[in-house]
Amino acid sequence: MNVWIASDIHGSALYCRKLLDLMEKRGADRLVLLGDLLYHGPRNDLPEGYDPKAVFAMLNSVKDRILSVHGNCDAEVDQMVLHFPIEADFRVEELCGRRLFLTHGHHFNVDQRPSRTLLDGAGYVVYGHFHVPMRRLEDGVWYWNPGSVSIPKENSWHGCMRMTEDAVQWLDLDGNLKDELMGGGDMTDIQTALFALRDPAYQAFQSKLIPTIDPQTVIGVRMPALRKLAREIAGTPVAEGFLQELPHRYYEENNLHGLLISAIPDYDGAVAALETFLPYVDNWATCDLLSPKAFRKHPPELRKQIRRWVEDAHTYTVRFGLGMLMSFYLDEGFQMEDLDLAAGVRREEYYVKMMAAWYFATALAKQYDAALPYLRQRRLDRWTHNKTIQKAVESYRITPEQKDELRSLRWKDCAKEEGV
């Protein structure tokens, strides 16, 4: 399906003609008009080619394809000359596999959002009025504006939108692509939102840091933008649905999933979500961003859960368990048995051994006297032993005297290993 969306023609026959010509050239099943069709409005200058009579004749010629709403510059007399309905303040329509809330924008917009009841399940609010193209995701709902056909503002263009099942495009009236959101078909709304945040240069950089995943699954979303998206959708039906969708296709989807789990306020809910998600974690970065805030208030229960995680068969479940042991039990909750638990993890996977070394290096910074015997007595495997010393010596939290002592405990004849 090929749907065109336009707003704020304001009586310009010149630009209305350009819009309809572009539609006919590219193909059009539907034309969505977001109001302010005939009158230029008291706040606007007359647009070029102002001829309301010619405009309503042109629009009436394609009336069977038009869906329209009422704009603040539309009058009762306009309905008398237009042969399609324009009097609804808003309407909810299913188009191109998306449920759209269509309105002019003077009542409902990104700053004056419709209620969930009015949205009636719509995930997109599409409006005009402001004469400036835009797209923004807020609280799990997309807000789109095609700009103005005849009176563009803020250095924008005479333009419209074109929507198919696979993409949404912002075009000028010469057909030049100004912006595009890929989405539809097999792409979910969350994937569309992530691609809207894509930074190609960052994608190339990030792909090199995660060698265990296919670079084609990295979109290239910077973490501040990803955290912002997580905050916007946390607790919404969009987030709840997304947490049920496993496995994910993209690296950033997994990271978003992890951030949403970390925001779950209920301990049992967070653990249940983790139990479902951890088997799908396939890289160190996703693993290490998991840090449910609910864990801080449940240290006894969490310690028991960590024991189960570090005994799991899955590499990143074990790494996650060691990470939680490091994050929550090296300060006031520290117990000697925690060091025994970590030392007892004997796995060959690089990313498990690296986390074990990170744990013991941090233990040396926070509980030096308790952790030191594990090196003196060589209770770790040789690689983890030496990596622990390397990381501890690099730490500003270790005193110069302690660093000298640790250097003396290096396990000699160990082949040099590289690590992250």
Question: What is the per-residue pLDDT across 307-349, written as a single tens digit (0 to 9) for each?
Answer: 999 999 999 999 999 999 999 999 988 999 999 999 999 999 9
Residue written as token pair 């237009």:
82
3-state secondary structure of 382: helix
Residue 218 CA: distances (Å) to CA of 52, 207, 336: 50, 6, 40
Reading the block at residue 175, the tokens are 């057909």
Its pTM stands at 0.59
CA-only gyration radius of the chain, Å:
29
CA distance to 144, 354, 387, per residue, from 348 (Å): 51, 10, 14
Q: How far is it, in rounded angstroms, from Cα 410 to Cα 376?
A: 9
Query: What is the per-residue pLDDT for 287?
Result: 98
pLDDT of 414: 47
* 3-187: CATH superfamily: Metallo-dependent phosphatases (3.60.21.10)
The residue-averaged pLDDT of 252-273 equals 96
Residue 272: pLDDT over 70: yes
The residues spanned by each domain of the chain are 3-187, 190-407
290 close to 320: Cβ distance less than 8 angstroms: yes
Structure tokens at 346: 């004997």
| Same fold flag, 3-187 and 190-407 | no
SS3 call for 79: helix
Which CATH code is given to the segment(s) 190-407?
1.25.10.90
- Decide which of 128 and 140 is more confident: 128
